[in-house]
Amino acid sequence: MAAFSVRARAVDAAAAIEPCGHCGARTRSVCNAIEAPDLARLAALAHGLTIPAGRQFIEEGDAAEHFFNVTAGTAKLFKMLPDGRRQITGFAGVGDFLGLAVSATYAFGAEAIEPMRICRFSRSRLKTLLADFPALERRLLEVAANELVMAQEQMLLLGRKTARERLASFLIARQSHGDAVRLPMTRSDIADYLGLTIETVSRTLTWLRGQRLIEIPAAAEIVIRDRPALERLAAGLR
């Protein structure tokens, strides 16, 4: 009976680790700061959610009670303007950690562009975990610092760059594996984020293709053909 009890506990522990240990987003997320033997504690805090396309899962101004780790899909982040319009401020994909608010409320809203899977963590319970795992706290600080850098880049993007430079910068930033750039968001979303019109985005993509810098095999995919030239364009050197 004792041997059976030990095996049962081992199976229970393995089951607890399973969601985090086999998560495809772990290597790209803050969760990789926690070693495999301690994943059971992380898994116990995580509440997995499936978010359909078009569903908002963070409401600007709501109490910031949770953190969110994206494990599949893409979301658009936005701010509400006084007249009711929305300004897209960014996009979040696999491995991104959302909700690092410094105030008591969320400073932005988030909506699924496509079906998503996220892990939701209670802010109060996660703070307890951070006390035991300094490496995780350091990773979260890195995420916060990166968000500040990205905000500064966005200010430069909107304030100084031309339409061609903005779109080139956007494509380079979204390139992850190989030459393909996946674009699950609409052209309207891209235009909103870059401070352009839909027509300007379409014309600029056509121009980039005519210059043999990119190919457009599908509406949701761009293939970068000449990254060095695209980088020079993004930097205003072409």
| 174-203 residue pLDDT tens | 887 788 999 999 999 999 999 899 999 999
pTM greater than the 0.85 cutoff: no
Domain ranges of the chain: 2-133, 161-234
| 136-148 residue pLDDT tens | 778 777 777 677 6
**Half-sphere exposure (Cβ direction) of 112: Cα atoms closer than 13 Å:** 20
| 36-48 residue pLDDT tens | 777 787 788 888 9
| C-alpha span between 146 and 235 (Å, rounded) | 20
- CA 135 to chain CA mean position, Å: 21
The CATH number of domain 161-234, selected from 3.30.2350.10, 3.40.190.10, 1.10.340.30, 1.10.10.10? 1.10.10.10
Residue 128 pLDDT exceeds 90? no
Dig out the tokens for 223 from the structure.
């293939």
The dotted CATH code for 2-133 is 2.60.120.10
- Cα→Cα distances 19→48, 136, 180, Å: 9, 18, 29
